[in-house]
Amino acid sequence: MRAIVISSYGGPEVLTHTELPDPRPGEGEVLVRVRAFGLNHAETYMRGGAWGEVAPVTGIECAGTVEHDPSGRLAAGTPVLALLGGMGRTRNGSYAELVTVPASNVVPVSTSLDWAELAAVPEVYATAWSALHGNLALRPGETVLVRGATSSLGQAAVDLAHDHGASVVATTRDARNAELLHSLGASHVLVDDGQLAAQVRHEGIAVDALLDIVGNSALRDSLATVRPRGRVCQLGFLGGLAPVPDFAPLTDLPTGVQLSFFGSAFVLGTPEFPLSDVPFDTILAKVADGTLRARPVRVFGFEEIVEAHRLMESGTALGKLVVTLDR
């Protein structure tokens, strides 16, 4: 099969096309023929060596069809989403024509979306939905702030929170992105200068919940941004993986504010966080009818993977990038 491997840890140029033997599914696995896959910042960390030794073939999600399910649960040809379950970390991932995935991380779907459109959904919408409804327990009518909203994960969060009936405050580092975020349902757009707590106080906004995709570099300010007894969920590291220096709960964690973390790459598809909890059928139906705005901003061919990673790393894509194997 055709595959893209990490030839050595480094920049986008280390992604190399090669031929590998077709994988065979073991017990509790499904063999998926990949039709398209979305790109994720986690894959840049894997490619660069920030997460230590990882599988040669990266890629944490895909859309495709069942090639073989030894259990007989899924018939050959069934359209599926496959995400996480160690893909790209402890097992070869989706940057290939075929991938074996734990059965608990494979979701059969029925949709009118094409492969590229379908591949824009799984990881970011499952992660955003889980954090909004699980960690933050967001309720209609509440105000949620999405920090890092122009990322593909951030856009999914704005999209889902608005559809849920929340009032959404979205942040960007560039005021020119305000129109994009308003189109997804944000009622307020703030330019993130690192001092959001001061901005929301000045604007008179009471933030009930905050979804922080920027990560450790913004954590102290995020904790100060929510109202007393507000909730903060960290689920991304757009600002880098460096730890928060000298973090002390006594001085840095406001009394009554709840802080949680959601690491989708490590838990989605486990018994504690089953993918059956994520309403994929509803999400896909709303994408198909235009209620949710999950569409790739650019689709690349398989041979264009280096260019695709360069664009993702530049931070200028402003949405989900997808690679298709059918072009």
Summarize pLDDT for 84-115 with one digit per residue, the tens: 999 999 999 999 999 999 999 999 999 999 99
The model's pTM = 0.95
Share of the chain above pLDDT 70, in %: 100
Q: Which whole number is the average pLDDT over 30-34?
A: 98
Q: 237, 245, 185: which is closest to 220 by C-alpha? A: 245
Round the average pLDDT of the chain to a whole number and report it: 96
* pLDDT at residue 238 is higher than 90: no
* pLDDT at residue 301 is higher than 80: yes
Domain 2-120+295-324 has CATH 3.90.180.10: yes
pLDDT of residue 291: 97
* pLDDT at residue 327 is higher than 70: no
Q: Where are the domains of the chain?
A: 2-120+295-324, 123-264
Q: 200, 156, 150: which is closest to 177 by C-alpha? A: 150
pLDDT tens for each residue of 200-218: 999 999 999 999 999 999 9
107, 78 contact by CB (below 8 A): no
298, 321 contact by CB (below 8 A): yes
Domain 123-264 has CATH 3.40.50.720: yes
pLDDT tens for each residue of 118-174: 999 999 999 999 999 999 999 999 999 999 999 999 999 999 999 999 999 999 999
pLDDT of residue 240: 83
Report the relative pairing of strands 2-6 and 15-19 from DSSP bridges. Answer: antiparallel
CA distance 134 to 112: 28
275, 251 contact by CB (below 8 A): no
